[in-house]
Structure 1
Amino acid sequence: MKIKNLFFLAFLLVGLAVNAQVRASVSSKTYDLETVKFTVDGFVFTLNADGSIADFNAPDLNGKLEYYDDQVFDKVKYGKLKSIGNVKIDYWEDSTFTKEKAGKLKRLGNISVDYWEDSAFTEEKAGKVKKIGNLAIDYWPNDIIDNSKMGKLKTIGSIVIDYGAKDVIDQSKYKKLVKFGPVSLDYYTDSFIDENRNGQLKSINGNSEKISVSVL
Structure 2
Amino acid sequence: MKIKKLLLSAFLLGSVLIQAQTRANVSGRTYDLKSVNLSMDGFVITLDAEGLITDFHSPDLNGQVEYYDDKYFDQYRYGKLKSIGGVKVDYWDDLNKDSAKYGKLKSIGDIAVDYWDDSIFNKEKFGKVKKIGNQSVDYFPNDIIDNSRMGKLKSIGDISIDYGTKDIIDDSHYKKLIKFGPVSLDYWDDKFIEKNKFGQLKSINGNSKNISVIVL
Please give the range of the TM-score, normalised by the shorter of the 2 chains: 0.7 to 0.9
* Aligned twin of 1:204: 204
Matched ranges for 1:50-199 at <5 A: 50-96=50-96, 99-199=99-199
Which residues of structure 2 form unaligned runs of 5+?
Answer: 1-17
Which of the pair has more CA radius of gyration?
A: 1
Alignment root-mean-square deviation, CA: 1.6
**Contact kept in structure 1, 2:164 and 2:174, CA below 8 Å:** yes
Q: How many residues align?
A: 199
Q: Which moved more, 1:174-183 or 1:90-99?
A: 90-99
User: Pairwise mapping of residues 13-24 of structure 1 onto structure 2 (< 5 A)?
Assistant: 18-19=19-20, 21-24=21-24
TM-score by length of 1: 0.88
Contact residue 27 and residue 33 of structure 1 kept, 8 A: yes
Q: Any idea what the Cα deviations from partners look like across 1:35-61, whole Å, max 9, x if unmatched?
A: 111112222111111111111112321
Matched residues in 2 for 1:85 and 1:22: separation? 25
* Amino acid in structure 2 at the alignment position of 1:50: E
Q: Could you tell which deviates more after superposition, 188-197 or 89-98? A: 89-98
- Equivalent pair of 1:76/1:102 in contact (CA under 8 Å): yes
Cα separation, 2, equivalents of 1:107 and 1:43:
12
Check conservation: 1:92, 1:98, Cα contact below 8 A: no
Question: Deviation digits for residues 61-80 of structure 1, max 9, x if unmatched?
Answer: 11111111111111121110
Preserved contact between residue 68 and residue 81 of structure 2 (Cα < 8 Å): yes
Unaligned runs of 5+ in 1: 1-16
Percent identity among equivalent residues? Answer: 65
**1:98 shift after superposition:** 7.4
TM-score (norm 2): 0.88
Pairwise CA distance, 1:120: 2.3
CA distance in 2 between partners of 1:106 and 1:98 (Å): 16
**Bigger proportion of residues as helix:** 1
What SS does the aligned partner of 2:76 have? Answer: helix
| Greater displacement, 165-174 / 96-105 | 96-105
> Is 2:62–2:85's contact at 8 Å kept on the other side of the alignment?
yes
Relative distance call for 1:101 and 1:89 in structure 2 (3 A) is: same
SS at match of 1:175: coil
* SS at structure 2 position matched to 1:112: strand
Please tell me whether the aligned partners of residues 96 and 102 of structure 2 are also in contact (alpha carbons under 8 angstroms): no
Query: Matches of 2:144 and 2:102 in 1, distance apart?
Result: 31
- Offset from partner CA, 1:4-35 (integer Å, 9 cap, x none): xxxxxxxxxxxxx943x111110000000011
